A and B are shown apart, each in its own frame.
Chain A
């Protein structure tokens, strides 16, 4: 079974803090994704990576950056957290570059920025 793990289930940070969210997958998947999920808006893609050290912006990259130094690990960084970044953050991975491939999600990190 594919396993995607995220470093924290719940996180509370203060405005202006730098926040690191980490994601690890154990199935040697090429693609990794970061989404945020907000009520009524569905999942929105922040960044994705199709290979080590490769990254592309998704639909809402502003205020975020990412790092992928190893194939299994994809980190999301909030350089200076703001209250509008309070959300559920979901990491996912998939095999290859085809959109036919299933995305496997981690359990999510619920981030609250005060």
Chain B
């Protein structure tokens, strides 16, 4: 079983729409959670950390459900520039990270 599982998508949405997707993780000891963004043929970059109480950064909202071991990301008012692959990232209890394979989002005009 993969440590982090994501729906690969693609999620094709029109500009201005809301899109949401989840990932699940298997290690109940994980303490740190992140969403990274990877543009086509580029390196991953941190989008946001995910906190237990949930957190928001502009149009992006992340939620953590420890009981069910899943993390979600919601993007409101989608922009063309939001088109990317979103990687769910979970710590392993040390300083190593486990990466999901990514969810691809395509925002169309």
Contacts and interface: CB of A to CB of B under 8 A. Distances in A.
A48 B99 contact: no
B73 interface: no
Interface string B6-37: 00100000000000000000000001101000
Interface residues of B, number: 24
B44 A100 contact: no
In the complex, which range does the number of interface residues on chain A fall in? 20 to 34
Interface string B84-109: 00010001111111011110000000
Contact of A43 (B8, B34, B95, B99): B99
B43 A106 contact: yes
Contact of B45 (A42, A97, A99, A105): A105
Contacts, number: 53
Interface in A84-114: 90, 94, 96-103, 105-108
A50 to B, nearest CB: 7
A94 B97 CA distance: 12
Interface of B: 2, 4, 8, 31-32, 34, 42-46, 49, 87, 91-97, 99-102
Given A41-B101, A99-B95, A99-B97, 5 more contacts: A50-B95, A96-B95, A98-B95, A105-B45, A107-B43
Listed from nearest, the 8 A-B pairs whose CB atoms lie closest are A99-B91, A105-B43, A43-B99, A42-B101, A42-B99, A99-B32, A102-B46, A99-B95
